Amino acid sequence: MQLAYRTLLGKGVQKAARLRGGGSALPGLFIERIDPNFIRRTLADLPRGVVVVSGTNGKTTTTKMVVELLEGQGLKVFTNRTGSNFTRGVAAALLGEVDHSGKLHADIAVLELDEAHAVHFVRAVEPRYSLILNVMRDQLDRFGEIDHTARLLQAIASATTQAVVLNREDPRVAALASSLDTAAVSYFGLASRLRERFPTDDDLHQPGKATPKLSAADVILEQFADHHGTFSIAGKQFEIPLKLEGIYNTYNAAAALALVRAIMGKQLQLDTLIVSLAEVTPAFGRGESLMVHGQPLELVLVKNPSGFRLGLSSFDPAGHATMIAINDNYADGRDMSWLWDVDFASLRPHGVAMVAGIRAYDMALRLQYDEVALHDVVPDLPEALARFVQSAPDQPKRIYCTYTAMLALRRKLAKITEVEDVI
């Protein structure tokens, strides 16, 4: 079957899936089946190669930042912007960007990849650059113990040919440097006074464990305030206004800055880089703010204890109606026992208006143990969202949600307000 014909078939399946309201999985699976070399062949001729962003938390937002920062440097960037971080998501995103002959017109590809699927990807496509964010106990029923997850990330870093950027504050990530003998290594990190705000997995599960000696970091988050971050970039400090929401996204910005510096090298336009970062908005569901009946509604993705804690500390509950939506589908991770590692006391003064999702009653029990008043429990997400919106018509709203709950809520919200298309 000719290459152009296979590409046209894949594009046809993608168009049909969109018309039926489907996501990116089917066309990606289809093109992989009829053309197993589609991804490798399409990405092979990019002038600046392929960038892989991986780790437990922060991939989607960080990838979005890297893309926009590189575009600010004048590059044409391909990315899997839907956040579908399996190889089939990359294949589907490529189908939407290639021309009818299968040619991708871009300078560089920046790909967010799930840890396990990234290992398969890098066997076929060697990344020129990679960014490893962190290793947390997230979805362990899928990946096994945390050291296994670290080994998956090591395989990504080892396959990288030019430069690897590591989180120096995460001991398992920083330790990957010792196994690399080809790619250059650089780091992003935190000022010492901020480290307790961003606990590593060891901090959470092995308190008191000695901290390894830290390497010098190319980019350091020195301090943050409401919509501002101060970054040390190659030893020089910059205070940057940010449209990003949440302190965790401010730290992700340090990672993005370090990666873009590694990619651009001496061609980097630093002033432009700072301006570009100030304009980046949150990725969908990661502090994304929508307008519903004249009031803002924020969606905050939560995946594990660290992320949920950082989310709660980033957003003041005062003046907001709060909803929590917890699913335990495959993409969320089936083991929700990690909710007991989150301290919900910050919600106590104002309570929670609604708990929803497959594990709604588990979440309700968890709030009861932390003495957080709860108004309503509705497992059905569409019904819960409708009642939540109606319950506080004149109040800003915030929903903390797991991944599949977030996708379901966005689909429902798209019927009543403007929501970015991520299919």
Whether the pLDDT of residue 21 is over 60: the answer is no
For 103, the token pair is 């040619």
Percent above pLDDT 70 for the chain: 84
Same domain? 218 vs 140: yes
How confident is the model at residue 354, as a pLDDT? 97
| CATH code of the domain covering residue 38 | 3.40.1190.10
Tokens matching residue 361: 């009653």
pLDDT at 12: 46
Model confidence over 308-342: pLDDT tens digits?
888 898 888 999 999 999 999 988 888 888 899 89
If you ran DSSP here, which 8-state letter would residue 115 be given? H
Least confidently predicted of 43-47, 62-66, 143-147, 375-379: 143-147
Give domain status of residue 373, yes or no: yes
Same domain, 131 and 187: yes
pLDDT at 7: 54
281 or 168: which leads in pLDDT: 168
Cβ contact 354:364 at 8 Å: no
Say if 423 falls within a structural domain: no
Q: What confidence score (pLDDT) does residue 17 get?
A: 46
2-11, 214-223, 282-291: least confident range: 2-11
Domain termination site, one of 246, 279, 312: 279
Instruction: Determine the Cα angle at 304 with ends 301 and 306, to 5°.
Output: 95
- pLDDT for the residue 39: 81
Same domain? 232 vs 319? no
Sign of CA dihedral 370, 371, 375, 378: positive
Q: What percent of the chain has pLDDT over 90?
A: 54
Report the pLDDT value the prediction gives residue 75, as an integer from 0 to 100.
Answer: 98
Averaged pLDDT, 28-33:
57
Average pLDDT of the chain?
85
Contact 4, 35 (CB under 8 A): no
Predicted confidence at residue 85, as pLDDT, reads 54
Where is pLDDT greater, at 142 or 53? 53
CA distance 283 to 295: 20
pLDDT of residue 289: 82
Whether 370 and 233 share a structural domain:
no
pLDDT confidence tier of residue 281, bands split at 50, 70 and 90: confident
Lowest mean pLDDT among 5-14, 64-73, 209-218, 269-278: 5-14
pLDDT at 60 over 80: yes
Domain co-membership, 201 together with 332: no
Single residue among 239, 263, 279 that ends a domain in this structure: 279
Q: How many domains does the chain have?
A: 2
Residues 6+ apart with CB under 8 A from 367: 324, 344, 347, 352, 355, 374
Give the separation between CA 411 and CA 299, rounded to whole angstroms.
13
pLDDT of 142? 47
pLDDT at 5: 43
Check if the beta carbon of residue 397 is closer than 8 Å to that of residue 296: yes
List pLDDT tens digits, range 81-122: 755 556 777 877 777 777 777 688 999 999 998 888 888 889
User: In 3D, which of 286, 279, 213 has the Cα closest to residue 240?
Assistant: 279
pLDDT tens digits, residue range 69-82?
999 999 999 998 75
Indicate whether 347 and 205 sit together in one domain.
Answer: no
Give per-residue pLDDT as tens, 340-349: 989 999 999 9
Residues 109 and 221 in one domain: yes
Query: Range of 408's domain?
Result: 286-413
By CB atoms closer than 10 A (0-12, 13-18, 19+), residue 416 is: middle
- Note whether 328 and 349 are same-domain residues: yes
pLDDT at 283: 76
Assess whether 202 and 126 both reside in one domain: yes
C-alpha–C-alpha distance, residues 260 and 273, integer Å: 9
- The CATH number for 336's domain is 3.90.190.20
pLDDT of residue 419: 74
Of 247, 279, 311, the residue at which a domain comes to its end is 279
**Which 8-state DSSP code applies to residue 46?**
-
Residue 3 clears pLDDT 60, i.e. is over it: no
Each residue of 364-379: pLDDT tens digit?
999 999 999 999 999 9
Examine the domain organization and report whether 235 and 313 are in the same domain: no
Q: What is the pLDDT of residue 25?
A: 62
